[in-house]
């Protein structure tokens, strides 16, 4: 279902057109705990960095769990008087959509379990006991948190912890894409932390924007690719268990562990990565996370009931054998 994003209001710096042909410009930097790389073609260079700083600052102030005075951090700390901004509202609504479509496997309240299993910043070293998981589960469930008509967050329990890290990067990319659209830039490629939006084409090479999907078998510090695709006016997001897969392969196992937000238990999964093509990066980012939690078979079942989403799954089969599943829409964009 198509969602028209009501994105944040940002200052768009005006620029004057010249009679010159569009030139390629590139900008890169660090933001949202990762890095970004942007290429675009324009008849005049834009002050992109200033606008990016504004975008990242607003999104961090709204949804960064690493920023103590952000809206989401204050909500998690128990402040019930926070009126959230339009960015928070859009990410909340997209999260709600994916939560429902995935039947609860995409859940922005799963952070308590992630920490308990030692995958979060708390760094626990032992798996939690069943009674500890049962205790935490009463605070897990996106249906236990509501967005009121006056843009406040209401929780069933104060302990419910909200975390949009699995979808906020994708949303940030959509906001950046809107910036270029507002400035009448028709050809650009935005990459932030491995998530991408490609609009138009690479004028310099007279070809579509070409992007790669990582090989989960790559060694630490290496960069090898599984495949390359043309990104044509769509968003691409990838979620993967690469590092854990490498550890398990060394131990002679052909699966990874992922947390089931419905049971709270860590379960075996042979799905190593999920790459998703969608109309915007908010949805692509969220669905990629949902598919990793669902696993291969449940993800394939989910694909039958949603539209506008194409996938490329890499999974382990047999004795460390790597197998690929690609939807027809994804295959059309693969490059030889």
What are the residue ranges spanned by the domains of the chain?
56-155, 177-331
CATH code linked to domain 56-155: 1.10.3980.10
Dihedral sign, Cα of residue 261, residue 264, residue 267, residue 272: positive
Which parts of the chain have pLDDT scores under 70? 1-20, 119-126, 216-222, 241-257, 319-320, 336
Nearest to 142 by CA among 100, 82, 178: 100
Q: Which residues contact residue 272 at a Cβ distance below 8 angstroms, ignoring those fewer than 6 apart?
A: 216, 240, 241, 242, 245, 256, 314, 315, 316, 322
Q: Which residues of 146-165 are buried (b: 16+ CB within 10 A; e: fewer)?
A: ebeeeeebebeeebbbbbbb
pLDDT at 18: 41
| Whole-number Å distance between alpha carbons of 172 and 313 | 24
Nearest to 199 by CA among 227, 178, 214: 178
pLDDT at 317: 80
Tokens representing residue 243 in the block: 């590092």
CATH code linked to domain 177-331: 3.10.520.10
pLDDT at 129: 85
pLDDT at 171: 98
Q: Where are the alpha helices (DSSP H) in the chain?
A: 48-63, 71-76, 86-101, 111-116, 130-137, 168-182, 242-250, 281-294, 296-303, 328-331
Dihedral sign, Cα of residue 246, residue 133, residue 161, residue 288: positive
Q: Which residues contact residue 137 at a Cβ distance below 8 angstroms, ignoring those fewer than 6 apart?
A: 113, 263, 264
pLDDT at 288: 96
Cβ atoms of 238 and 289 within 8 Å: the answer is: no
pLDDT at 254: 45
| Whole-number Å distance between alpha carbons of 67 and 168 | 14
- How is 255-273 classified by DSSP, letter by letter? -EEEE-TTT--EEEE-EEE
Cβ atoms of 74 and 67 within 8 Å: the answer is: no
- Reported pTM: 0.87
Q: Which residues of 260-278 are buried (b: 16+ CB within 10 A; e: fewer)?
A: bbeebbbeebbbbbbbbbb
Q: Which residues contact residue 222 at a Cβ distance below 8 angstroms, ignoring those fewer than 6 apart?
A: none
Q: How far is CA 109 from the centre of its chain?
A: 15
Tokens representing residue 72 in the block: 């989401």
């Amino acid at each position: 279902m198509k969602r028209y994003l009501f994105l944040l209001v940002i200052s768009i710096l005006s620029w004057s057109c010249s009679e010159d042909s569009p030139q390629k410009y590139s900008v890169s930097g660090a933001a949202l705990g990762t890095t970004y790389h942007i290429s675009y073609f324009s008849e005049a260079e834009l002050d992109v960095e200033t606008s990016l700083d504004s975008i990242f600052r607003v999104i961090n102030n709204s949804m960064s769990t690493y920023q103590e005075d952000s809206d989401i951090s204050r909500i998690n700390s128990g402040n019930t008087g926070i009126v959230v901004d339009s960015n928070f509202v859009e990410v909340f609504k997209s999260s709600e959509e994916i939560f429902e479509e995935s039947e609860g496997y995409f859940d922005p309240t799963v952070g308590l379990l992630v920490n308990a299993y030692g995958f979060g910043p708390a760094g626990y070293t032992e798996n939690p006991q069943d009674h500890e998981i049962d205790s935490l589960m009463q605070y897990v469930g996106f249906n236990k948190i509501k967005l009121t008509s006056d843009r406040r967050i209401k929780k069933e329990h104060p302990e419910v912890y909200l975390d949009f890290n699995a979808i906020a990067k994708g949303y940030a990319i959509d906001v950046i894409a809107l910036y270029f659209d507002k400035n009448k830039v028709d050809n650009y490629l935005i990459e932030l932390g491995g998530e991408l939006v490609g609009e138009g084409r690479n004028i310099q090479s007279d070809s579509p924007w070409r992007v790669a999907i990582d090989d989960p078998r790559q060694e630490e510090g290496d960069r090898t690719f599984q495949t390359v695709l043309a990104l044509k006016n769509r968003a691409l997001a990838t979620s993967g268990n690469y590092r854990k897969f490498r550890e398990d392969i060394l131990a002679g196992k052909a699966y990874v562990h992922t947390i089931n937000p419905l049971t709270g238990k860590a379960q075996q999964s042979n799905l190593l990565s999920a790459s998703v093509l969608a109309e915007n990066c908010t949805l692509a980012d969220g669905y990629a996370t949902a598919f990793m939690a669902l696993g291969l078979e449940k993800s394939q079942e989910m694909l039958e009931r949603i539209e506008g989403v194409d996938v490329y799954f890499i999974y382990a089969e047999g004795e460390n054998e790597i197998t690929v599943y690609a939807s027809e829409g994804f295959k059309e964009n693969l490059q030889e």
